[in-house]
């Protein structure tokens, strides 16, 4: 067996492990919650009721301020880290149900999602440790969408969709 085949087998085994499946599902719920909080913040910012940032980091900072916020941040960090592992495995050996260019695009999409989930996981852990930096920026994609007409509604819809998807479908290869 070649080194490449052993690496592929190990990645497939990790991707298909039940523990990774459930923790990755937890990560999808956490991802949906982050976008739900962004939508909530966006609504309040649009109405001029709050100061803050409608971004992933701003949402995690808001979550930290809630009762049991540190616990929620650690749960989110672990779940999002599991999503990173899942998406890296998908980028390496997944998407075998498609061929050619479609497989390449799917694997690149998985790699991109892994980066997004990694940033959110690290940010959640940093905030839980009290080392999260500022309260979020105003130059992220979410902030740009917020500047559009109906932007707060679009962000809230994205959060609702992420939460609904996470609660009904486990990660699959």
147: pLDDT strictly greater than 80: no
Determine, yes or no, domain membership for 84. Answer: yes
Binned at pLDDT 50, 70 and 90, residue 67 comes out as: confident
H helical segments located in the chain: 3-16, 18-46, 56-64, 69-93, 100-128, 141-146, 151-168
Binned at pLDDT 50, 70 and 90, residue 173 comes out as: very low
- The pLDDT of 12-36, averaged and rounded, is 80
Determine, yes or no, domain membership for 13. Answer: no
Determine, yes or no, domain membership for 6. Answer: no
Q: What is the pLDDT of residue 55?
A: 67
Determine, yes or no, domain membership for 123. Answer: yes
> Token digits for 172?
């699959």
- C-alpha span between 84 and 15 (Å, rounded): 11
- The pLDDT of 25-35, averaged and rounded, is 80
Determine, yes or no, domain membership for 170. Answer: no
Q: What percent of the chain has pLDDT over 90?
A: 2
Binned at pLDDT 50, 70 and 90, residue 135 comes out as: very low
- C-alpha span between 81 and 1 (Å, rounded): 30
Determine, yes or no, domain membership for 49. Answer: yes
Determine, yes or no, domain membership for 9. Answer: no
- The domain of 23 spans 18-165
Binned at pLDDT 50, 70 and 90, residue 132 comes out as: low
User: Which tops the pLDDT comparison, 143 or 8?
Assistant: 8
Determine, yes or no, domain membership for 8. Answer: no
Q: How many domains, in total, are found in the chain?
A: 1
pTM of the model: 0.65
129: pLDDT strictly greater than 70: yes
Q: Which of 3-17, 99-113, 129-143 has the lowest mean pLDDT?
A: 129-143
User: Which tops the pLDDT comparison, 132 or 93?
Assistant: 93
- 8 A C-beta contact, residue 37 and residue 62: yes
- C-alpha span between 171 and 87 (Å, rounded): 9
Q: What is the pLDDT of residue 50?
A: 58
- 8 A C-beta contact, residue 158 and residue 35: yes
């Amino acid at each position: 067996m070649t080194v490449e085949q052993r690496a592929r087998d190990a990645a497939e085994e990790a991707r298909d492990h039940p523990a990774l499946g459930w923790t990755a599902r937890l990560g999808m719920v956490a991802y949906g919650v982050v976008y739900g909080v962004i939508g909530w913040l966006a609504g309040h910012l649009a109405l001029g009721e709050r100061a803050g940032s409608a971004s992933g980091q701003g949402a995690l900072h808001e979550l930290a301020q809630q009762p049991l916020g540190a616990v929620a941040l650690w749960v989110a960090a672990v779940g999002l880290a599991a999503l990173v592992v899942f998406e890296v495995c998908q980028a390496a050996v997944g998407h075998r149900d498609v061929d050619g260019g479609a497989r390449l695009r799917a694997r690149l999409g998985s790699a991109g999602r892994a980066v997004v989930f990694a940033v959110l996981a690290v940010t959640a852990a940093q905030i839980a440790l009290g080392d999260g930096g500022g309260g979020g920026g105003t130059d992220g994609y979410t902030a740009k969408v917020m500047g559009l007409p109906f932007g707060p509604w679009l962000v809230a819809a994205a959060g609702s969709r992420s939460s609904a998807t996470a609660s009904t479908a486990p990660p699959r290869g």
